[in-house]
């Protein structure tokens, strides 16, 4: 109730403020209200059903800028009733022709390839916020962002994030078979809130007619975190394995480029080397790796086609060995074996999360989009196949702009993977169809 009151006050204040701003100030407010249904999975008839109001306001007075995107939603998420008041973005700052300085909750997306961006390490995602638009999963974090444009076509971007915010996976929803009976997901283990644990990133970006590219450096905790076995409790007749989300620190050096080939194709590529230190062989820290994506975009018969290869090379890779069961039934040996097995399974799971199941990982993606009837209808379909893990995904979607103020979207999400694969686990929750009706204002 408090949230509703707060949100109502906010709307009133904003609307009142809009009326009071004088002519020198550019005040803009817009947003949308929508109803969204996502369901049909094996685990849930209706996985995610919610109504949402988004209020996006901006104020510009000379070089001073305030931007906000505030969302209020209520509904059922994975069979749990929830009402959320979310500040998706809220930041203030200074913007001139050469320099921008922004402070507040922001979303930063880096990388020139599509959907798979090895250089994009800054903003977390809520991967289990299910709706028709994957961009809904982006989350902001409090940061200082500065941009300097010394020359046309060149810019230097600096990002400093004092406090870490991790992505959300909700693996606690997975049906992990017999092992799941023993698992207990406990509170996230966040790094201490000191500046030494902050995240810092720099990017030099070039954009010219002949090519665009960037070189970036990142140091900090990766929002895409791992899992650790916090403890194994043997007090009861069966073990209780306490699992926590645990972030790890890394240094990443990345680069990307986009090169037009004539007027019919754009070649895009992106790569990043991630360096991690793991002297104690912690399971939640991935090995150093090199991730790379190469793609082309072209237009055939009004279809925009984007094809990509997505690869990864894992350094210092060594396969995991399944622990051998004890030869005798000595209880101490059995416990030792079980602990080794728990360690093995969870290391394996982390490797799946990090796509480090093999030394090299190969996947491809294909996205096809087309507009019809003067952009009133637009259809898109994305397919993904991982040759290494044999997982695949298909996501068709149709958008219908019924009028300038009313839009509808329908589609589906289908993923499939073998037993004990991430897609195998996720499919029981995330497979299904979605529909959305949105009024924009």
Partner 1 sequence: MKLLLKSIVAGLLMFGCTPGLFGQSAAEISRKSTEVIDLGSTQMDFTIYIRDNKGSERVRQLTMISGVFNGVGKTLVRFTAPSDVQGTTLLIYDNKDKEDDMWIYMPALKKVRRIISSERGKSFMGSEFTNADMSKPNQAVFNYSLLGTTVYDGKECWMVQSEGRDQTISKAYGYSKSVSYIDKNSYLSYKVEYYDLSGNLHRILTSLDYKNVTKTTFFSYRTVMENVQNKRVSEMVVNKVETGTKPGEELFSPNALQ
Q: By CB under 8 A, tell whether 307 contacts partner 1.
A: no
Contact between 252 and partner 1 by CB under 8 A: the answer reads no
Q: 100-136 burial, b if ≥16 CB within 10 A, otherwise e? A: bbbebbbbbebbbbbebbbbbbbbbbebbbbbbbbeb
Query: Residues 170, 345, 313, CA angle at the centre, nearest 5°?
Result: 85
* 235 lies in the site for partner 1, by CB under 8 A: no
Which of residues 241 and 407 has its CB atom nearest to partner 1 in the complex? 407
Least distance to partner 1 from the beta carbon of 266, Å?
6
User: Cβ of residue 101: shortest distance to partner 1, in angstroms?
Assistant: 14
124 part of the interface to partner 1, by CB under 8 A:
no
175 backbone dihedrals φ, ψ, rounded to 5° = -90, 105
Tokens representing residue 125 in the block? 């995602």
Beta strands, E only, 234-376: 240-246, 249-261, 265-275, 289-300, 303-314, 360-372
Cβ closest to partner 1, residue 27 vs residue 414: 27
Footprint of partner 1 on 12-31 (CB under 8 A) = 28, 30-31
Q: Select 205 or 356, whichever has its Cβ closest to partner 1.
A: 205
Give min distance, CB of 221 to partner 1, in A: 21
Options 270, 297, 345, 436; binder of partner 1; rule CB under 8 A: 297
Token look-up 């403890």 returns 231
270-278, 280-288, 293-301, 420-428 -> range binding partner 1 (CB under 8 A): 293-301
Residue 55 CA to residue 71 CA, distance in Å, equals 6
| Residues pairing with 440 in the sheet | 32
Tokens 């997982």 sit on residue: 391
Residue 214's Cα: distance from chain center in Å? 21
In the list 52, 155, 222, 436, the residue contacting partner 1 (rule: CB under 8 A) is 155
Q: Decide: is 280 part of the binding site for partner 1 (CB under 8 A).
A: no
289-300 and 64-77 as β-strands: parallel, antiparallel, unpaired? unpaired
Give 154 or 334: the residue with its C-beta nearer to partner 1.
154
What residues make contact with partner 1 under the rule CB under 8 A? 28, 30-32, 97-98, 107-112, 133, 135, 138, 149, 152-155, 205, 207, 209, 212, 258, 260, 262-266, 297-299, 302, 304, 374-376, 403-405, 407, 440-441
């Amino acid at each position: 109730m408090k949230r509703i009151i707060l949100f109502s006050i906010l709307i009133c204040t904003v609307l009142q403020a809009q009326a009071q701003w004088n002519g020198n100030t550019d005040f803009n407010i817009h947003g949308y209200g929508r109803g969204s249904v996502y369901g049909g999975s094996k685990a849930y008839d209706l996985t995610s059903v919610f109504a949402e109001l988004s209020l996006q306001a901006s104020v510009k007075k000379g070089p001073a800028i305030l931007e906000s995107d505030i969302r209020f939603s209520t509904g059922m998420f994975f069979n749990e009733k929830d009402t959320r008041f979310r500040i998706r973005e809220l930041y203030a700052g200074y913007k001139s022709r050469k320099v921008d300085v922004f402070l507040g909750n922001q979303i930063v997306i880096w990388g020139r390839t599509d959907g798979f961006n090895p250089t994009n390490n800054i903003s977390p995602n809520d991967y289990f916020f299910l709706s028709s638009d994957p961009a809904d999963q982006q989350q902001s974090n409090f940061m200082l962002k500065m941009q300097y444009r010394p020359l046309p076509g060149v810019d230097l971007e600096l990002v400093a994030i004092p406090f870490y915010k991790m992505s959300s996976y909700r693996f606690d929803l997975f049906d992990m078979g017999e092992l799941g009976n023993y698992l207990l997901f406990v509170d996230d283990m966040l790094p201490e809130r000191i500046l030494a644990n902050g995240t810092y990133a720099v990017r030099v970006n070039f954009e010219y007619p002949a090519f665009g590219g960037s070189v970036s450096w990142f140091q900090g905790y990766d929002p895409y975190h791992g899992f650790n076995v916090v403890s194994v409790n043997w007090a009861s007749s069966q073990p209780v394995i306490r699992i926590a989300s645990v972030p790890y620190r890394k240094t990443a050096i990345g680069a990307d480029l986009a090169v037009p080939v004539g007027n019919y194709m754009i070649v895009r590529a992106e790569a990043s080397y991630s360096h991690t230190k793991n002297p104690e062989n912690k399971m939640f820290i991935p090995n150093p790796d090199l991730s790379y994506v190469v793609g082309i975009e072209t237009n055939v018969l009004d279809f925009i086609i984007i094809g990509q290869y997505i690869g990864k090379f894992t350094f210092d890779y060594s396969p995991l060995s399944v622990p051998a069961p004890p030869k005798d039934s000595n209880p101490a040996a059995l416990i030792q074996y079980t602990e080794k097995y728990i360690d093995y399974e969870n290391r394996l799971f982390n490797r799946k999360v990090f796509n480090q199941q093999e030394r090299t990982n190969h996947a491809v993606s294909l996205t096809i989009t087309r507009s019809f009837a003067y952009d009133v209808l637009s259809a898109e379909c994305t397919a993904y196949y991982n040759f290494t893990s044999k997982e695949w995904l298909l996501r068709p979607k149709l958008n219908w702009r019924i009028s300038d103020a009313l839009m509808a979207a329908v589609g589906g999400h289908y993923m499939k993977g073998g037993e004990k694969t991430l897609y195998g686990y996720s499919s029981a929750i995330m497979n299904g169809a979605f529909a959305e009706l949105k009024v924009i204002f």
